[in-house]
Amino acid sequence: MASEESGGYFSVSTIAVNPDRIDEAHACLAEVSEATLKEPGAKIYRFYKTEGKDEFVCMEK
């Protein structure tokens, strides 16, 4: 199992989003991702838009 110092991620999942709300979802997920970097002890999240689909990939550290 990866340690927190190794930089590995613990889980990867997808988040389906209503196509009409992609921009709103992107803004929200970007805010969450940025906030976790500032909070000591918080889980770190990264979100990536899946090209050609109405979903984001979420990686949790």
pLDDT tens per residue, range 40-55: 777 778 889 989 999 9
Q: 33 falls in which pLDDT band (50, 70, 90)? A: confident
Q: How is the chain split into domains, by residue range?
A: 9-60
Do residues 8 and 57 touch, judged by C-beta distance below 8 A? no
Q: How many helices (H) and strands (E) does the chain have?
A: 1, 3
Q: Which two tokens mark 16?
A: 């389906």
**1-18 tens-digit pLDDT:** 444 555 666 788 899 999
Res 56 pLDDT > 60:
yes
| Fold annotation for 9-60 | Alpha-Beta Plaits (3.30.70)
What's the pLDDT score for residue 36? 82
pTM, two decimal places = 0.66
